[in-house]
Amino acid sequence: MRKRLFIGLLLTASLLIAVVATATPIGKVEVDVSTPPAFQGAKIYYAVWTFAENGSPIVIKRGVLSDHLFFKDSIYLSKSELQRIENTAKKIGSKTAFIGIDVWVEKDGKVYSLVDGFDRSLSGWELEKSIKFKLNLKEASVVSIPSPHIIRTSSKEITPMSPTKHWYEWRTADERYFTNIKIPLLIIHKKSKTKISATVQLGAKHGSYMGPDITVAFGDQISKKVSFDPSSIKLKVLGRSFTDWYRGGSIINMEPSNTWGYIWVKGTIHYIHQKEYFCYKSAYHPNPTCLFTGNERYFAKIDRFEYSSQHGSVKDIESGVSFEKPQFYPEDVPMEYVTLNAPRGKDVYLADFFDKIYTETKGYSFGIGAPVGALINYLTGERLPPWFNSLLVGFSVEGYSTYAVMGEIRNDGSVNNVKFSAAKSAYKISIPINKPWWEFWKSDHVNTNVPVGFYVEVFS
């Protein structure tokens, strides 16, 4: 029996695009699109994409939709197109396949550019589950639609070129990846002479798979910006880049003489810088001409974990500790702090900090924010904009049922009046949530502060 995955893409009156996926018997993806009255008749361009085996984006399909009062157009992904996405996931050993969706909505000379994505299980029974998420036009990057070039005809008259066809696309301007890198999960800066112990466990519970999230920053000409500006640089967490049954983490014991220490896991980290283009063909130029719209985006992600052994189906991620200040510590990231008391001999759980950091969500879809942006910028010799350090990568478990990274910190020393102060972002990131079906009108993302580092200061 072949299967069909139905995805409904809906622009609601609150300017939301809703995507609904349910299993049906035919083996293809159908995307239905409609617009609110304010956007009635707008042209909607789309691209469906994934990441190739080398971690670079590849487009599976692109096209244009038209929404009218009495009917709406649909995107269809054939079984073979879905198979391309799934085959890529299988090549990297992932239990899920990432599917990205770019949407461009044209209205009154402006183009609203949006991005979203999700991961789709490769297990047959998982295809029966519904997938719902929404793209909010309020979070779109909005720029003017570029004007086609003006040319001079043989009669010396200046004639504007009238496009016979146009579309939008993202092109990679720069990308690099780094292998076998120590990725911090917990960074401790001890300003007290007490003794500290801490434990971090990364991995899924009860047989669920887990993996690192994909974080994207986008906006108008953001490569020219220096500091992070949340009004012009939008941060969003998409699906997971890969998943499997993993476990990792370590224990760190910091003596009174130790000032810095961190727990890490090893993996491959990757950044991608892309620019958005308005492309067209005309009677004068049958070959495509493409104009930069000004929109740019940066991806920060983890492409794979290094694992040292395997027990059954569970892979043990190579993990360890270092007693030094990370050279890549994101000191210029806008941060605030959450402080908890740490009586001698009592565990303070990472989840205790999460309860005070996250708003409107438990944060299961993100957990700890590993400083992948700052680490990449350090490895590139600071060739990226300083605000790129603000890109954090989270980890999530199948179904967002619990935290993928858990642990505790304890004051084991002779000093009783110790405090733990943990960093949270002073800016908000849009992260996915797992909401009940009856809240179908709500967004599938919430804007929230997230843990940074995860960096913890210890002081008396």
State residue 23's pLDDT score.
34
- Contact by Cβ (8 Å): 291, 278: yes
State residue 403's pLDDT score.
92
Domains by residue range for the chain, with CATH: 4-145 (2.60.40), 174-271+301-459 (no CATH)
State residue 1's pLDDT score.
41
pLDDT less than 70: residues of the chain: 1-40, 66-75, 123-135, 149-164, 204-207, 285, 330-331, 437, 440-441
State residue 118's pLDDT score.
84
State residue 149's pLDDT score.
60
State residue 255's pLDDT score.
95
For residue 395, give Cα distances in angstroms to 177, 182, 242, 263, 450.
19, 16, 11, 15, 12
Rounded Cα gap, residues 283 and 395, in angstroms: 50
State residue 19's pLDDT score.
40
Rounded Cα gap, residues 63 and 6, in angstroms: 18
Cis peptide leading into 292, omega within 30 of 0? no
The amino acid at 193 = K
State residue 37's pLDDT score.
60
State residue 283's pLDDT score.
72
Rounded Cα gap, residues 334 and 99, in angstroms: 31
Residue in the structure block whose two tokens are 């924010």 = 369
Tokens linked to 304: 């794979």
Tokens linked to 413: 């020393």
